[in-house]
Amino acid sequence: MPSISDLPPGERPRERLDALGPEALTGRELVALLVGSGGRGGSALGIADEVLASVAGSLRTLGSASPSAIAAVPGVGMATAARIAAALELGRRASAEVRHPGDRVRGPRDVFDRMEPRLRDLPQEEFHALLLSARHSVIREVFITRGILDASLIHPREVFRPAIAQSAAAIILVHNHPSGDPTPSAEDRAVTKQLTAVGRTVGISIVDHVVIGDGRFVSLADTGGLE
């Protein structure tokens, strides 16, 4: 395959980006820009093809791949893998910023819309808390832990210390299921009951726990999981 420098200027990804903007580029061209100049593993476009082939062409799957898995693609290496992983993480965080502190949460759909872009493609569970005002406006998002949700590993202080510091009136718990199935597990329910009981003691109520899957969510408040 010819190198990018062999292509006519109007077909080179960098020149096309400058002339037309990033939205005009294909996924292959965007990955090629992250690859850079290519090397012994082939041209940048050829390596981009290999990267995309390794995830069956899915940018969402690529976004959940570890840097070491990306680096295992022929011609990539750790430096290029780090650039690709960083670019995809920036995109995920930018999507998560569509909602801002101060937005009012009216129900679990608002929680899903706010947090799903950030959590949907992660390879492992992440547990977060939304700290709310008395009118259920978001004061702050707090990352609690990463990994399998286990009541024995979730210490209430990690949830309630920032809530007390921010004078929060209520908390919404939220975490993802990498399997894509948002059905709450027994541990999800145990964590919810544990934290709800602590909330009653300290006067900061847990108003919901939203489990996010692939395009779907389950609200434990709606399914009796807070009782």
Over residues 129-182, the pLDDT tens digits come to 999 999 999 999 999 988 877 776 788 989 999 999 999 999 999 999 999 999
The mean pLDDT of 28-50, rounded to a whole number, is 83
Please name the residue ranges forming H helices in the chain: 13-20, 27-35, 44-54, 59-64, 67-71, 77-96, 108-119, 156-165, 186-202
pLDDT higher than threshold 60 for residue 2: no
Of residues 100 and 26, the one with the higher pLDDT is 26
State residue 42's pLDDT score.
74
Does the pTM of the predicted model rise above 0.85? no
Q: Residue ranges of the domains in the chain?
A: 4-96, 108-219
pLDDT higher than threshold 90 for residue 38: no
Over residues 103-130, the pLDDT tens digits come to 889 999 999 999 998 888 888 899 999 9
Domain 108-219: CATH architecture, name and number where available: 3-Layer(aba) Sandwich (3.40)
State residue 98's pLDDT score.
53
State residue 197's pLDDT score.
94
The torsion defined by the Cα of 91, 92, 94 and 96, in degrees rounded to 10, comes to 170
Q: Do 173 and 195 contact (CB within 8 A), yes or no?
A: yes
State residue 31's pLDDT score.
92
Cα separation values, 85 from 11, 72, 148, Å? 25, 13, 22
Distance separating alpha carbons of residues 180 and 123, to the nearest angstrom: 11
Over residues 69-116, the pLDDT tens digits come to 999 998 898 999 999 999 988 887 777 665 565 688 999 999 999 999
State residue 40's pLDDT score.
63
| Residue 134, token pair as written in the block | 């008395």
The mean pLDDT of 201-223, rounded to a whole number, is 95
State residue 100's pLDDT score.
60
